[in-house]
Amino acid sequence: SNETSKACSICFEQDHDNEDSKLVPLEGCSHVFCSSCLRQYVSLRVESRKVNCMPCPMKPVNGCKVEILDEVVREIAGDEILLKMKRFQEENTIERNPFTRWCVNPKCLRAFVLDEKMKESLSNKQTNQKNCERGVCP
Q: Mind listing the pLDDT tens digit for each residue in 3-60?
A: 446 899 999 987 666 666 788 999 999 899 999 999 999 999 999 999 989 999 999 9
Give yes or no for a contact between 89 and 49, defined as CB atoms under 8 angstroms apart: no
Verdict on whether the full-model pTM lies above 0.85: no
| Residues in contact with 5: Cβ distance below 8 Å, sequence separation at least 6, in sequence order | 14
Give yes or no for a contact between 88 and 51, defined as CB atoms under 8 angstroms apart: yes
Of the listed ranges 46-60, 65-79, 119-133, the least confidently predicted one is 119-133
Report the alpha-carbon angle 7-9-10, nearest 5.
Answer: 115
Give yes or no for a contact between 16 and 23, defined as CB atoms under 8 angstroms apart: yes
Query: What is the pLDDT, as a whole number, of residue 19?
Result: 61
3-state helix, strand, coil in the chain (%, to 5): 40, 10, 50
